[in-house]
Structure formats: C-alpha cells, structure tokens
Structure 1
C-alpha cells in the first residue's frame, strides 16, 4: 500500500519541535518507555503517532497514559493501551522502538510511512486516542507532546487529564465495548459490584489505612470511598500528596525495604493497611509490627492465594454441572515465594503456570483459563474471566446466587489490567466474606525469607536468561556458579535477570532463614558483578 508523500511531509514537519536528545536511546521495557522526564518529549510525540496508527489499524479507540509508575518523581514514562484495554500487543513493540529511536525528522517520517504501508493503514483518518497522566509535574507537557503525534495522523487526541493508569485502561476497554466509560462510571461500577459481593456479611470493623504514595491514587480513592460510604468500608488516606512521589512510601518502597511508610508511626500494630504505587496499579497489604518500624507484608502472592480461595468458594457453590470442569489457573513469575506456590498446588488444587517477569506475559497466560489469576509479588495483577465463562454465568445468574456473585467479581476486578483500587475491593470482599482478619490470612502459609538486590552493570543485555528467567544462558559459567551458591543454602533458591528499564541486574534469593537468604543474595550479586561487567565496587 502506497502512503501519500503528504503524510511523510506532515510527520517530518510536526516532529521538528520534538527532537531526539543526543545520545538518548529509548528502549521499550516490560511496560513501555521510562527515563528522566526532560528526555522524553520526542518519545511521547512518537508514541502518539504509534497509537494513532494502532487506532487506524484496529478501527477502535486506543490510549496513552503518561506515567513512570513506582519510579522516582523526576522520571516519567508511557504505557500504551490496546482497544481491549490491555497493554500494547507485543507485535507492535518493535515499531515503538523503531519510531522512538529515529535519528532525524526524515528518518521518522520514513519509518512511519513504512509502518502504515506494512500494516495496510490509510492516513490521515478518523479515530481517537485517549490520553491521561499521573501527578508528576512533567505529565501535562508530555501528554501534549503525545497529542501532537496523534494529530499529525489526523486523529483526535482526547485529553482525559489526571487518572490512574488502570482507570485509563478501563475507560478505553469500556468505550470500545459500547459501555458507560466515564470516570464516574468506573466508581459506580466498582462500588455497586462490591456491595453485591459483601451483601449479608459483617463489616470488618477496623479502619483501612492506605498509603497513597503521594500519587494520583489519593484523590481517586477519595472519590471511590465516597461511593462506598454505606458499604462499611472506612479508609484513612495517608501520603496524599504532601510529600515526594514514591519517596519513602508506596508499595514498591514497602516491598523492597520492608519498612513502614512515612506517616504511619501512629498506626497501631495489627491494623489493616495497604499501599499503592505512584500510578495506583500495584497493591500491597501490610500491618505494623510491635516495637519498631518494620511491617508484616501481604504481597501479591498472598493476594493471589486469597483470590483463589474466594473463587474456589464461589465456583463450588455453583450448580454441580456448571462447577465441573471450570479451569482456574494461577500465573506466577520466578519472584513468587516458594511457600506460596506450594500452598496453591497442595491446598487449593489450582494449576500453577510460571512466565517470564512482566505483566504482559502473565496477562497473556491468564487468558488460557476460564479464570486466570495473576499477581506479581510486587502486587501488580488482576483476575481475568473468559468471555465464555462470563456468558455461562449470565445464563445461570437468575437461579444461582454464586453465578451472580461471580459476575459481580468480574466487575470489581478490573478486566483490562492490574488495578490497585480495584484490588483493594477484591481483598476487602474476600476477607469480609470469610470473616477473617489479617491473622487468618497470614496463617495460610509461612513465607520463605527472601532478599532482592540489584547490581549496576555497563550493559544489562550481557545477561541472557531462559526457562522463564529462572536460568542464565549467558555469560557461560554464571549459572553453574549460582547453582553452587544455592546448594550451600538450606532450602535455597536464587535467580538473576536483567532489568527491563535500566542497566541493572536484579538478584532474588530465598532460603530457610533471613540470614541465609541475605547471604545467598549477596553471594550471587558478587558473582554477577564479577562475570557480567559490574560497575563500581562489588556488593
């Protein structure tokens, strides 16, 4: 298909204010592009072009969210949204990298023409790309750059303003389905389905303390909580914007440092608490421990187990013919704690599938089941229901309360992407239906102690992994050395993987005791530093 020369000219002209910084080589990671915000004008402009082309190709609405999630406040990035509400399809990631790295206006215009021709897309054309951003000061300007990219292919850039990433995904999904898709519709849908799930159960009573990471989750949870005022869920919001985004607070800080977030010193031990990240797509539950600043964590593994228990209870209450043969799968990465994996297999009887790290891999695998549950240990995840299963539940809902409640669960849980606000309602409903406090949840299994470290390297691509990132193929000899270190640790397990966003190698280790896990992680980190071009002193 020939692309009119006028399109190339329009792209080249529109790109002139958005030049690629000298020496900057953006790389599409597990969830888009990230860098310090002052480098990203050209990347956002080109992502606008890409998602306009994707909208033209699919003849549906696509989306762009300007965010760097749990990264420090000076960073920013972009997450790209398919018409389904899911992340950009992996086949188009190569296009994203090519456009982002074009070295001149003319090269960019040529690459855009090549993309359009290869995909059989006519431009300019009619269509819409929805654009949102989080609370970073750089967000509005970068959103404007993305909008300029959208418009140079003739499409409408709908500026949606301040949103959580999952809200934008949900809105794109709902709009393409022809369903109510406004921000108010999001709150009403989640709150209404939550109330249906907890009807007849007793409130947990205690206040839920929420660490909002000084991000967009604060204002959005405040609005959701207003819809839940009559549902017995009281939420005390902390870190609502008065401090630094993700600074000493948020789910990533909590998971990595295992310390109480800022402004939680007055929260009593045993209190039910949760934390989200800067764009509210990760969720961690926790409670303060006696006599210090440490916290007991309820991470993504525990959320997955709790979700699987709720599903088991509901599915077992279906009419026998409907319950028989329902395929429930729990999708994990190598970061899942070994104790959680054993509990799921031995006590819940669910299939466990392991994928490479990255939500796009877990999400894809979850589609293989009637109900697919995935939560990374970092708290990013959701529960996906197949269209066929939901249709079956609709047919049964008039005569089966369990079927109606499974449909409600499919609304409470964001079907597009991992969503921390949606996840809070999932956890609260599961605990409330069982009448459980955190003690019963914690007693399901005992985590093997673990430690995560990172090693700065000159080039993360020297590490090549296999077997869902659990084994190192390159450099040769490194895996043998890791195996030898693991053999010396009781109940030891360790793996390494290159970061998807920066030149570091991430190290994970677990063992029978915290000291053994710490020692194993340090030993493996030293091996990586020695054999993979570590920068700076050895760990």
Structure 2
C-alpha cells in the first residue's frame, strides 16, 4: 500500500459538512449529498475486508424504502450475508474520520489490528434506481481502487441479487445475474410441477424501484406459470405512497391501485426489493387486508413442514425447524406457530443480522420481520441429506427445489413472491384460506422524534427499556390498562426517532395505547417538537 497515493485519494473525499453518520441495521443511510465521503470509505473498508477474508465482498448503493432524495450503502461479506458485526465498529470509525490523515490512520490501524495481508482484492458494486447512485458508486469504486483492489461494476441490481451473486461467486458457482434468474425460475417450476396455476394472476406494486425490471425478467421466464401484472414501475415516484414499507405502516392502497377489485391477489415490494408483503383491497375505500412478514413466515412453515412430514423416517432424527421473530411480530401469529404448528419460536432484537444468525441454528430456519424482510435457510447437513435421497424421494426433490428458489443469502422480495405463490398453489389456496389461519390483534406503530436516540436503551430482545429511568414503568402501566395490551419502544437504527409499537384487543385501544406510550417517550426521552 502506497500511503502517499492513499492519502491523495482520501483527500478527494473528505467530509466538509463534518456530519457523523453511524452504522445502522445494514449500513449507512442519509440525505444523498451527505454521503460521498462515507461511501468512499466503505469502499476502502470492503477492499480491506476482502483482503482479510480472502474472498470477494460486495457493496450496494441504496436507501431501500427511504424517499428518493436519500441514499445509503449496504455492505456484503463473502458469505453473501451482511457485514460481520465485529467490523461495524471499523465502519463507524472510518466514517467518523475528520480528514485524509484521520482516514489513513484508521486504515493503518485496521491492517495492524486485524492482521490483514497486503495485496489486491475484489469488490462487487451495485446500485438501485436513485438519481444520486452514479456519483456514489463512483465514490465507492474510488475507495476500492485506492487500496489497490479491483471494483467490479455490476450495474443496477436489487440488493438481494448482489448478496446472492457474492455468495455464489465465493462458492465457485455461476454467479452472474442470468444465473440468478435461472436458479429461481427452475426451482419454482420444479416446486409447482403438477399443481395447477390459479385462475387469476398476481398484481404487484413495484414501488417505482429497481425490483420492477428484475421481476419482469423473472415473470417472463416463468410465463404462463406465473401470471403477474406489474404496477408502479416508473422512473419517478420511488417509494412515494407505494411500496412494502408504505403498505405495512399505512395499511391502505398504494398509488395506482384504486381500480383493483376487492379480493384481488396483490403484492408489494420495497425500493430495493428486499421486503415483500401481500395485500387485498377491503371494501370500497382504500383499506387493505395486509399479509405481512408474520403471515409469510407461517405460510412458509406450513409448506416446509408438509414436505418434511413426508420425508421423516424412523432411522434418522427429524430435522429441526424454527421460526425467528422480533417483538414486532403480531401476538396472534406467535400463538398460532406455538399452539397450532407446534414449532419453536425464537425472538431476537430487530434487524435482519440478528434474525439470520438465530435461523442458522436450525436445520430449517424461517425468519421474516413483520415488515416483510426475510427468507428460509437450510443447513448444509440437511441439504446433503436431501441430495443423498435424490430421485427416490418426491419430498426431497421438492425441498431441494425450494433451496434453489429461496435466496439463502438474505431476504429477497423476488424469491419471496415465488415462495408465496408456490405455497398457495401447492395447497390450492387463495388469500381467504391464508387469512383464515388466524386473526391479527389490532396494532399501531408510531415514531417520536428525539434529540438523541441513543438515550433509549433496551434489553430482552428490545421488549424492555433499560434507560431512561422510569420510562418502562410508565409503559407497563399503560399496557396494564389496555385490553390484551402489549407495547414496546426501541431507538431507530437509522434516524433520531424512537419507534413505538402497540397492540390490543381493538383498534381504538391499540391506537390509544400507542399514543399514550408515545407521549411518555416524548416526555422522558427529550422529544423534539409537539408531543403526540
């Protein structure tokens, strides 16, 4: 490494605004004009991570479900998963460096502390459809090149596509975008073979994001086996009154869906296509019946357990199956999983990195956050066992098709669509049968703007407040007064707000509980602006 060359490169990407960004659930996110220095330094970091691990790493420029004026960066380890949590501190330290001298000092420290060999590495780069993407990808590439490493421009991709490609590349397998479509499409075709397609097609809200073009390629490959009408596919209006996050929070029809008939089967992706929810219009107004991540997890579990029941033999112990949830999971879904499916539920803090790690502890680990981000993971031991059974077992072949179809690296809305469609098709179900599994407890989510989100700390998978003192007692009192009440608060991972979740026996009780808890947060945790 030539320190002089590195210093000169770093000087082109100093942080003139001195804004201190912090690593969130999956990376950094902010208004796009604030990001060039941080994205450049993430390029440095991922080149170093590739040198450390000896594998190819990845970087995606995206702000997911945020407004179009924002952008961000998500970092991909050689496994295809998110950046190792132990390296998040290095990401923060690099992002916080004042100037080129500070940046070079952190790089030198990283080499020494992590015992990184000198040499060249490779980082795969991708981006979504935001107009600010080109400049930020250029910054990331400059960071990679400054370390004497090779940036590979993969162009416009969904975030899960790059995760998949990095994982495949490091496994020595086909990893181009074309191979991604082939794996998902052939897996789906094998899984639904012999099961009639539904008479009505799927209508998909693509959030005017990168998922629109990618899902169209997939649908074209599967036609007529997957009939999908794509809406909100434009170059403008990213996440504007549309997308999975909008549906999950607002519970009303997205833009462009006012003409959809009641009961039609609809789905919605988010801006970078790593979240998925299903929905149907309810009544003449804009109200919707939402099928969120909780329901997708239950449907996935039903599919997996149906296949495993036919696979289990007396000679070998049954594979372990677990569903991983966060505190945001509706209490009715948890009760159904435990009481009806007799399946283990593991609760973790919010954030895919926590759910993914817990899911890996099972032979089949199913995780979906309520917001629709999730996947189904299969252990290497189970996959080997399925291959050994081979053509002699129909259930084994179906499960292997599922392994190919469902992104094993990270939550993926495109493979999620195929998962839901395959599960419904194999059970000969429509949305009414899926909805009838259980009835959600009414819930409400709010957020409270605060001066500093770090003053709120939590424990017990974010269900209990540790600080500030007295807040948890106020929440407990509010919950005790609400019928079938449950509530918790947690600091956002991306902005200075505290998120409030409440559920109760009726919608009005849930609304009242959420507002009361939000007022307590505003009062105790230095809320900004008017009290809710």
Q: Could you state the TM-score of these two structures normalised by the residue count of structure 1?
A: 0.98
CA–CA distance in 2 between the matches of 1:8 and 1:300? 48
SS in 1 for 2:98: coil
Contact 1:449 1:511 in 2 (8 A): yes
- In 2, Cα distance between the equivalents of 1:323 and 1:226? 41
8 Å CA contact 2:253, 2:287 repeated in 1: yes
Shift of 1:162: 0.2
Correspondence 1:189 to 2:179: no
| Correspondent of 1:372 among 344, 347, 365 | 365
Among 203, 210, 218, the residue aligned to 1:216? 210
Contact 2:17 2:34 in 1 (8 A): no
How far, CA to CA, are the matches of 2:272 and 2:260 in structure 1? Answer: 24
| Mapping 1:62-141, distance limit 5 Å | 62-123=57-118, 125-141=119-135
2:15 corresponds in structure 1 to 20
Structure 1: which 5+ runs fail to align?
A: 1-5
Q: Helix, strand or coil: the match of 2:257? A: coil
Q: Which residue of 2 aligns with 1:36?
A: 31
Counterpart CA distance in 2 for 1:230 and 1:201 is 13
Separation of aligned partners in 1, 2:16 and 2:374: 34
Verify: 1:48 aligned to 2:67, yes or no.
Answer: no
Aligned partners of 1:277 and 1:522: how far apart in 2? 27
Q: CA RMSD in A?
A: 0.9
Q: Residues of 1 paired with 2:427 and 2:286: CA distance?
A: 30
Q: Is the 8 A contact 2:360 2:377 kept in 1?
A: yes
Alignment match of 1:336 (pick from 317, 329, 333): 329
Instruction: Using the TM superposition, give the Cα deviation of residue 323 of structure 1 relative to its aligned residue in structure 2, in angstroms.
Output: 6.9
Post-superposition Cα deviations, 1:169-216, rounded to whole Å, max 9, x if no partner, equal: 000001111111111111111000100000000111211000000000
Conservation of the 8 A alpha-carbon contact between 1:452 and 1:509 = yes
Q: How does 1:228-247 map to 2 (within 5 A)?
A: 228-231=222-225, 233-247=226-240
Aligned residue for 1:321, secondary structure, equals coil
Cα distance between partner residues in 1 of 2:53 and 2:214: 30
Give the equivalent residue in structure 2 for 1:448. Answer: 441
Distance 2:319 2:311 in 1: 11
Task: State the distance in 1 between where 2:495 and 2:37 align.
Answer: 19
Count of aligned residue pairs for this structure pair: 532
Q: Give 2:3's match in structure 1, choosing from 2, 5, 8.
A: 8
SS in 1 for 2:74: strand
Moved more, 393-402 or 299-308: 393-402
How much does 1:82 deviate? 0.5
Q: What SS does the aligned partner of 2:249 have?
A: helix
Distance in 2 (alpha carbons) for counterparts of 1:8 and 1:350: 55
| Aligned-residue offset at 1:22 | 2.4
> What whole-Å deviation, never above 9, does each CA across 1:11-49 have from its counterpart, x for those lacking one?
211111111132300100011000000010000110000
The 3-state SS of whatever aligns with 2:465 is strand
State yes or no: 1:151 paired with 2:145.
yes
The alignment partner of 1:377 has SS state of coil
Question: How far does the alpha carbon of each residue in 1:216-244 deviate from its partner, in whole angstroms, 9 at most, with x for none?
Answer: 0100011111110142x111000001541
Cα contact 1:8–1:110 (8 A) shared by 2:
no
- Alignment match, 1:522: 515
- Look up the SS of the partner of 1:203 in the other structure: coil
1:319 touches 1:400 (CA, 8 Å); kept in 2?
no
Output aligned runs, 1:265-284, within 5 Å: 265-284=258-277
Q: How many Å separate the matches in 2 of 1:505 and 1:528?
A: 8
> Once the two structures are superposed, what CA deviation does each residue of 1:107-141 show, in whole Å capped at 9, x if it has no partner?
11011011011111123x22210000000001111
Q: TM-score when scaled to structure 2?
A: 0.99
Corresponding residue number in structure 2 for 1:164: 158
SS of match in other structure, 1:472: strand
2:173 paired with 1:179: yes
State whether residues 453 and 491 of structure 2, in contact with CA within 8 Å, keep that contact through their aligned partners in structure 1.
Answer: yes
Inter-CA distance 442–10: structure 2 relative to 1 (3 Å threshold): same
Instruction: Find the counterpart in structure 1 of residue 382 from structure 2.
Output: 389
Q: Deviations over 1:322-379 (max 9, x none)?
A: 7743110100000000000000000111100000000000001011100100000000
Measured in 2, the distance between the counterparts of 1:229 and 1:113 equals 53
Contact 2:363 2:379 in 1 (8 A): yes
CA distance in 2, matches of 1:242, 1:519: 39
Distance 1:297 1:225 in 2: 23
- Does the alignment pair 1:510 with 2:503? yes
Q: Secondary structure at the match of 1:382?
A: strand
Which secondary structure does the structure 1 equivalent of 2:2 belong to?
Answer: helix
Pair 1:353-2:341 in alignment:
no
Could you tell me which runs of 5 or more consecutive residues in structure 2 were left unpaired when the two chains were aligned.
Answer: none
* Partner residue, 2:254: 261
SS in 2 for 1:78: strand
Alignment equivalent of 1:459, drawn from 437, 452, 468? 452
Residue 194 of structure 2 corresponds to 200
Counterpart contact for 2:18–2:98, Cα < 8 Å: no
